[in-house]
Chains A and B, each alone.
Chain A
Amino acid sequence: DVKVTQSSRYLVKRTGEKVFLECVQDMDHENMFWYRQDPGLGLRLIYFSYDVKMKEKGDIPEGYSVSREKKERFSLILESASTNQTSMYLCASSLAGESQPQHFGDGTRLSIL
């Protein structure tokens, strides 16, 4: 089974802090994704990566950056956390190909105070 592991289930940070969310997958997937999930809204794509050291902006990249130095690891960085970034953050990975499903981690519930 595919395992996508996110470093923290719950995280509380203060405004202005730099926040790192880590994601590791163990199935040699090419693609990795970061989403945020808010009540009443669909998953919104922040950034994605199709290969090591490669990144593409999603629908809501503002205030975020990412890093993919190794194939199995995809990190999301909040450069200067703000209260409107309080959300559930989901990492996903998939094989290349349009029919390949994304496999999700358990999520990180991030609160910015």
Chain B
Amino acid sequence: GQNIDQPTEMTATEGAIVQINCTYQTSGFNGLFWYQQHAGEAPTFLSYNVLDGLEEKGRFSSFLSRSKGYSYLLLKELQMKDSASYLCAVMDSNYQLIWGAGTKLIIKP
């Protein structure tokens, strides 16, 4: 079966760095997406990786290793507004998105 694993919840301190991991087992791979979802709001697109390596976008970076079925989202200089759920999703061989359950990130002052 297809599976996306993420930690359920993480806690970090304002101003620090946090890494949210995502491992996947899917039938084929056509890219990996990260989304942010604040409570009660729509998911919003953060990043897309299809090749191995690190993609940097401001305070947020996303890394992919296709051989290991592994990605992480790195958030630097954490701000209180970064408190949200972070969703990992993999596009499989049928071009369907398979979603993880999301990681709830709690930022403490």
Contacts and interface: CB of A to CB of B under 8 A. Distances in A.
Interface of A: 4, 40-45, 58, 90, 98-99, 101-107
Contact of B97 (A45, A99, A103): A45
| Interface SS of chain A | loop
A40 B4 CA distance: 13
A59 to B, nearest CB: 8
Interface in B52-106: 87, 89, 91, 95-102
Interface residues of B, number: 23
A104 B99 contact: no
Contacts of A102: 45, 97
Contacts of B33: 101
B50 A99 contact: yes
A42 B4 contact: yes
Given A42-B101, A42-B102, A104 B44 contact: yes
